[in-house]
Amino acid sequence: DRLKESKVYMRALFDYVPLEDKATPCQEAGLPFKRGDILQVVTQDDPTWWQAKRVGDSNLRAGLIPSKHFQERLFFCPISGLTVAGLRRSFRLSRKDRQGSSGECSDPGDSEFLTYEEVTRYQQRPNERPRLVVLIGSLGARINELKQRVIAENPHRYAVAVPHTTRPKKPHEKEGVEYHFVTKQQFDTDVLNNKFIEHGEYKENQYGTSIEAIRSVQAKNKMCIVDVQPEALKRLRTAEFKPYVIFVKPRIPESRRRRTKINPSSDFLQQDEDLQEMRQSAIQIDQQYGHLVDRVLIKEDSASACAELRGILERLERESFWVPLSWVR
C-alpha cells in the first residue's frame, strides 16, 4: 500500500511557519508553506497533524502540517490536558485583518477560518464552455484598458460581457453591442433580483454587468473576460464559471524622496503620497482577497502586461490548472 500515491491535494489559504508554531509536536518535522501553495496530503490518520508534501518541491520527504480541523478551531490546553474548542491565536489575527472594514460576508464558506481548500487538476475540454477570466486590480492597474486591449487583438476568441446602463443610447451605439440600454426602473428591479455581479453609478447613470451577459458570451464559445471590484469574486466563484482570477498590480517604483536625498520638492512629496496609496491598495486587496487569486500579474507597462495576459489566456485553454474539487465533482 506504500506505493499508492495520495490523491488528496489542498491549496493552502494561509502561511505556515512551523518554527513559530508552539503547538507542533516537533518543529523540525514541520512543513513550511505559503498561502497559495498546493500540498499533497499523504496521510490524514492523525486528527491534529497531517503529513504532506509541497507539490513542485524536489524534497520528497513529507512534513507535518496542522489538520484542517485543528487549524480551524481546536487547540490542546496543556494545563487542563483537554482539547479545547477555540481558535489558534496566531492565526486568528491575520484572519481579522483579512476581513477589513467592509468585511460583510454572505458566503457561508467565508465564515469559516481560512485553512485549506481541496483542489484537483482541471483542464477545459474542447466541448466545455471556456472558463471565465476575472481581472481584479489595485489602484493604478487600469484593468479595463488591459481587458479591452487583449480582446481587440483577438475578438473572435475573447469578449467582454456587455454591461447594462441607464444612460441614453448615443447615435452610433447599438443595443446589445456597447450596452444593454434599460430604464432606471428596470435596472433597479434587476439589482433587487440579484442579476448583476457588480453595479455602480457614474455621472448619475447606473452601470452594471449581469450574470446573463457572461453566460451569453460563453454560449458563443468565447472566453469571457471581466474586470470587477474584488467584492464580486464571491459571486463568481462557482462551478459554472470556474473563474481564473488574475490580480493585476502596477509595478510601484521606489519613493522619490529616498532617491533624491536633498530637499524633496512638494511635487515629489505628492508623488510619494500617490505611490504610498498605490502600495496600500495592493496590500489591502492581497490581504482580503489573495486567497482567491490564481495568478498575480505585475504590470510594468501596458504592452508587456497585455502580452503576459495573452500568454496566460492561451495556456488556460490548453493546460490543466488547480481548481476547487467542488467545481468538478
Return d(Cα 1, Cα 22) in angstroms, integer. 33
DSSP E strand stretches across the chain: 8-12, 38-43, 49-54, 63-66, 74-77, 82-85, 116-122, 133-137, 158-159, 164-165, 180-181, 196-202, 205-210, 223-227, 244-250, 295-299, 321-324
Contact between 202 and ligand 5GP per CB under 6 A: yes
Return d(Cα 255, Cα 300) in angstroms, integer. 16
Binding-site string for ligand 5GP from residue 159 to residue 188, where x marks contact by CB under 6 A and - marks none? ----x---x---------------------
Contact between 149 and ligand 5GP per CB under 6 A: no
Using CB under 6 A, which of the segments 17-25, 206-214, 297-305, 309-317 binds ligand 5GP? 206-214
Reference 64, options 90, 34, 26; nearest CA is 26
Using CB under 6 A, which of the segments 91-99, 199-207, 264-272, 315-323 binds ligand 5GP? 199-207
Q: Which is nearer to ligand 5GP, 65 or 150 (CB)?
A: 150
Among 98, 131, 199, 249, binds ligand 5GP (CB under 6 A): 199
Reference 242, options 97, 152, 125; nearest CA is 125
Contact between 208 and ligand 5GP per CB under 6 A: yes
Q: At what angle do helices 143-153 and 302-318 cross, to 10 degrees?
A: 60
Which residue is it, cell 482567491? 292
Return d(Cα 295, Cα 244) in angstroms, integer. 8
Cβ neighbors of 226 (< 8 A, separation 6 or more) are 132, 133, 134, 135, 147, 160, 161, 197, 209, 214, 236
Q: CB count, 10 Å around CB of 77?
A: 10
Which helix (H) or strand (E) covers residue 46, if one does?
none
Contact between 207 and ligand 5GP per CB under 6 A: yes
Residues binding ligand 5GP: number (CB under 6 A): 9
Q: Which is nearer to ligand 5GP, 61 or 172 (CB)?
A: 172
Shortest distance in whole angstroms from residue 220 CB to ligand 5GP: 19
Shortest distance in whole angstroms from residue 108 CB to ligand 5GP: 26
Shortest distance in whole angstroms from residue 198 CB to ligand 5GP: 6
Shortest distance in whole angstroms from residue 222 CB to ligand 5GP: 18
Shortest distance in whole angstroms from residue 202 CB to ligand 5GP: 4
Shortest distance in whole angstroms from residue 102 CB to ligand 5GP: 16
Return d(Cα 295, Cα 264) in angstroms, integer. 37
Shortest distance in whole angstroms from residue 210 CB to ligand 5GP: 9
Contact between 295 and ligand 5GP per CB under 6 A: no
Contact between 235 and ligand 5GP per CB under 6 A: no
Task: List interacting residues with ligand 5GP (CB under 6 A).
Answer: 163, 167, 198-200, 202, 207-209
